[in-house]
Amino acid sequence: MAAVKNKPKTLAVWPIGLALVLLTLLAYWPVLGFQFINFDDQAYVYENPVVQQGLSWSGVQWAFTTTQAANWHPVTWLSHCLDCQLYGLNAGQHHLTNLLLHSASVLLLFIVLRKMTGATWRSAFVAAIFGLHPLHVESVAWVAERKDVLSGMFFMLTVWAYAAYVQLRISDCGLRNKDTNTPGCGKGWFALALLFFLLGLMSKPMLVTLPFVLLLLDFWPLGRWRGWRTVLEKTPFFLLSATACAVTFSAQKTEGAISSMGQISLTLRVENTLVAYATYLGKMFWPGDMAILYLRPSAFPGWQVIVAGLLLAAISGTVIWLARKQPYLSMGWFWFLGTLVPVIGLIAFGVQSRADRYVYLPSIGVTIMLAWGLPELLKDRTWRRSPVAITGGLACAACFFTTRSQVHYWRDSFSLFEHTVKVTKDNYIAQNNLGRAFEDQGNLDAAEEHYQEAVRLNPQYGVAQYNLGNVLTEKNRLDEAITHLKESIRLMPKVAETYNNLGKAYAMQRRLDEAMQLFSEAIKVNPDCEPAHLNLGRGYGMMGKMDLAAAEFQTAVRLAPNDSAARQKLAEARAQLGK
């Protein structure tokens, strides 16, 4: 371990760390004026009644038991609750929390990497690229991706505690070059690493690969690889990972987020894996045409799959061949490959082929390869320092300015999804969300245009059918609206709001019996669907059944105490009943 064998020189460590944090803050500072976006932010924050209540005992219970958003990540939920407790729905402050967590991870990465290697400037370069690379804009500028930056911080803290544990065992316990598995030595740091790892898993389960990263660090730079003894030492970490995998798989299966082999073939999964790895690697060096969502195609061109496979095989073979002479290459490369395994596409989640946010932590491995490999390549050159320093500086500057440009696409839903439509092909989800942005603004004509395009691109997309039906209802084109809402129910039969809105369309056509059946069906699907209770109560009122109407209005008030319409209707019903 370099940090033990040769204690690094004291070289302006804290000024460098401070500079890294300031550069990161400066690159992302515009996010403080950004809004929430209409893609997941509503589920995580501004339409989530539990989160909006702030920190409470009931909120804590909910955070540890819910599988909403197809994940079990209670620490992430609690962080959103805390933000609402402190800032309400001030979007800029929620963005600030993401930025501060990312900046903390940048500083921790620099400190930990320098501690393990003794290389100040190389560690600073890795931390700078991590902090400034435009591929990470999605993780930092998207409030719903709090789980990325929060788990990232716990990832760094886990590595920091583990490095301290190793250093204590080697130096203070007198175990240099001996069996470093003596019980008891450094157990406090080991337990702290486990705690940080657990908190990280409860922030985002993608951290299940962290034990694998610790083994890579044992190989280089810690230099304490002892075969199976080193692996067995990580048993508590692997047990936590296995538990997190089981819980996550159950949560995502429950929420219908995992695609079966019948939906997506093994061949397509393998093709997606190869192309995604190669694309991530390419975007590390040329981060162009970045978007919030890349849809999975029905097939990949054969040449893409072949080129990607050959590239990955060539790099893997080379780093293995050089493992003894340049161990940092194999360490960095397998860090990149290994940490992407949970999200690379072999287990298919949703409709995306890949996502920029997935490379948030994996990219560190590639940067380590560059930071140590380029100086090594020029080690026999007397003039090597200048070109290496200049190249590193230019890379950081390029990342800074590209990030400053990219981050502005995230200022609101309009700019984000207009950009996504521009840089991706046939993106029906982006069209739908752009339509939603126009609808929220009250521009129904523009909203209809984008919803129609989303339905044209994918008639099986139930969300767009639902949104189009709602807009057409607002425009009083009821026959068309009913057609799309019925199609949405066929595609998504477990969405109570669709039954309710179809019922509203029927009620507007004075087809009250059919409307009442749909309001009742909405309540069967979701007993807590407040609009359905309110509409059912109105229907009973029109039928003169005021006792039944009052009961529905009372339920609506219980579910939504701040709904003035429900409270007024309840008061009117009670007045007519003489209560």
Q: How far apart are CA 102 and CA 146, in angstroms?
A: 10
Report how far residue 354's alpha carbon sits from residue 350's, in angstroms, rounded to the nearest whole number: 10
- Is 326 inside any structural domain? yes
- CA-to-CA distance for 112 and 368, rounded, in angstroms? 13
Distance CA 192, CA 181 (A): 17
Q: Is residue 321 part of a domain?
A: yes
Q: Provide the domain count of the chain.
A: 1
542: CB partners within 8 A, 6+ apart = 512
Q: What is the 3-state secondary structure (H, E, C) of 1-48?
A: CHHHHCCCCCCCHHHHHHHHHHHHHHHHHHHHHCCCCCCCHHHHHHCC
Structure tokens at 123: 């560690």
> How high is the pLDDT of residue 383?
53
The predicted structure's pLDDT at residue 176:
47
The answer to whether residue 314 is domain-embedded is yes
Rounded distance, CA 558 to CA 454, Å? 37
Residue 578's pLDDT is: 77
H helix or E strand, kind and range, residue 285:
helix 266-285
Contact 103, 24 (CB under 8 A): yes
Domain that holds residue 368: 258-377
Tokens of 423: 């840089």
Per-residue pLDDT tens digits of the chain, which is 579 residues long: 444 444 545 557 899 999 999 999 999 999 999 999 999 999 999 999 999 999 999 999 999 999 998 889 999 999 999 999 999 999 999 999 999 999 999 999 999 999 999 999 999 999 999 999 999 999 999 999 999 999 999 999 999 999 999 988 876 565 444 444 454 567 899 999 999 999 999 999 999 999 999 999 999 999 998 888 999 999 999 999 999 999 988 887 776 655 555 578 889 999 999 999 999 999 999 999 999 999 999 899 999 999 999 999 999 999 999 999 999 999 999 999 999 999 998 887 778 999 999 999 999 999 999 999 988 877 665 555 677 888 899 999 999 999 999 999 999 999 999 999 999 999 999 999 999 999 999 999 999 999 999 999 999 999 999 999 999 999 999 999 999 999 999 999 999 999 999 999 999 999 999 999 999 999 999 999 999 999 999 999 999 999 999 999 999 999 988 889 989 998 988 888 876
8 upstream amide cis, omega within 30 of 0 = no
End-to-end CA distance of the chain: 79
The values of phi and psi at residue 258, to 5°, are: -100, 130
> DSSP assignment of 323-349, as one string?
TTT-HHHHHHHHHHHHHTGGGSSSS-B
> Does this model's pTM top 0.95?
no
With contact defined as beta carbons under 8 Å apart, do 469 and 484 qualify? Answer: yes
Q: Using CB atoms within 10 Å of the CB of residue 308, give its burial: 0 to 12 exposed, 13 to 18 middle, 19+ buried.
A: buried
Q: How far, CA to CA in Å, does 326 sit from each of 363, 468, 533? A: 19, 58, 67
User: In which element (H, E) is residue 295 found?
Assistant: strand 294-295
Structural domain includes residue 481 = no
Decide if 301 is inside a domain: yes
Task: Establish if 364 belongs to a structural domain.
Answer: yes
Q: Is 103 a domain residue?
A: no
pLDDT at 172: 58
Is residue 270 situated within a structural domain?
yes
